[in-house]
């Protein structure tokens, strides 16, 4: 089993002081930062763009930028995000574009590639691409907003990706995103997830060191 990784989501940080929010994550000894990019089209909300990543780098962040593109045309933004400092670029299966070409482009930029699917999307949609990515992001809420309730009904989906991973010997991380806290993370872990995005629960916790330690022990 892959070691557990906690990836705090910057979306829940103070948008007037994002560099400080990223620094909070580094100071805890965490390695990853999750960046939610929204276009007001694929999802009904807007967040930040490549310039935000570049600014975080200029402010000294060396975190692994786990970049989640919630965009209708993600293939158009691979290069700008890679140039701005993304380490992983995760794109959704739902919009129509050349997915295989986009994964290739992500890797050609030197980034790791991820594939994401919404709660309403069947797993069969991502099946053909499993050998082209390093990570599967199983959304555990409908994307667009932080602070939503975890969808218990996504647990069997996580378990199925985990089964495919072992049956086919795939080198994949399984990430969950949406409504993740200490309790829901444990349930996802029991079903095979190893990478945990936490926005609201992370930034709202007064004992962030304890929070991080509980994920390391999953």
* Residues contributing to the site for ligand DX5 (CB under 6 A): 9, 11-12, 34, 36, 68, 141, 143-148, 177-180, 197-201
Whether 36 sits among the annotated catalytic residues: the reply is yes
The catalytic position among 171, 177, 181, 205 is 177
Torsion angle, CA of 105/157/152/183, rounded to 10 degrees? -70
Indicate which single residue of 177, 185, 198, 218 sits in contact with Zn ion (rule: CB under 5 A).
177
Q: What are phi and psi of 86, to 5 degrees?
A: -65, 140
- 140 interface partner picked from ligand DX5, Zn ion, none, CB below 5 to 8 A per type: none
Whether 207 sits among the annotated catalytic residues: the reply is no
Site string for Zn ion, 43-82 (x = CB under 5 A): -------------------------x--------------
d(CA 150, CA 147): 9
The least distance separating ligand DX5 from the CB of residue 169, rounded to whole angstroms, comes to 29
Find out whether 192 and 162 touch, Cβ atoms under 8 Å.
yes
- 136 interface partner picked from ligand DX5, Zn ion, none, CB below 5 to 8 A per type: none
Find out whether 211 and 204 touch, Cβ atoms under 8 Å.
no
Residue ranges in 7-46 that form contacts with Zn ion under rule CB under 5 A: 36
The catalytic position among 36, 134, 162, 194 is 36
Q: Which tokens sit at 91? A: 């794109």
**138: which residues sit within 8 A by CB, 6+ positions away?**
117, 154, 157, 158, 161, 174, 175, 176, 177, 193
Residues tagged active-site = 36, 177
């Amino acid at each position: 089993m892959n070691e557990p990784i906690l990836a705090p989501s910057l979306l829940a940080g103070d948008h007037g002081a994002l560099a400080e929010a990223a620094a909070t994550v580094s100071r805890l000894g965490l390695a990853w930062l999750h960046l939610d990019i929204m276009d007001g089209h694929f999802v009904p909300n807007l967040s930040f763009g490549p310039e935000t990543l570049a600014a975080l780098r200029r402010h000294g962040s060396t975190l692994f930028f786990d970049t989640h593109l919630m965009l209708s045309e993600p293939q158009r933004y691979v290069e700008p995000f890679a140039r701005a400092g993304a380490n992983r670029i995760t794109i959704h299966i739902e919009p129509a574009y050349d997915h295989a070409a986009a994964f290739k482009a992500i890797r050609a930029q030197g980034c790791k590639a991820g594939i994401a699917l919404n709660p309403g999307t069947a797993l069969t949609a991502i099946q053909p691409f499993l050998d082209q990515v390093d990570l599967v992001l199983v959304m555990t809420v409908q994307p667009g907003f932080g602070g939503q309730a975890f969808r218990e009904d996504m647990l069997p989906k996580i378990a199925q990706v985990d089964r495919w991973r072992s049956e086919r010997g795939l080198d994949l991380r399984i990430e969950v995103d949406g409504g993740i806290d200490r309790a829901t993370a444990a349930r996802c872990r029991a079903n095979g997830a190893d990478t945990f995005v936490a926005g609201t629960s992370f930034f709202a916790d007064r004992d962030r060191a304890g929070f991080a330690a509980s994920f390391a022990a999953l």
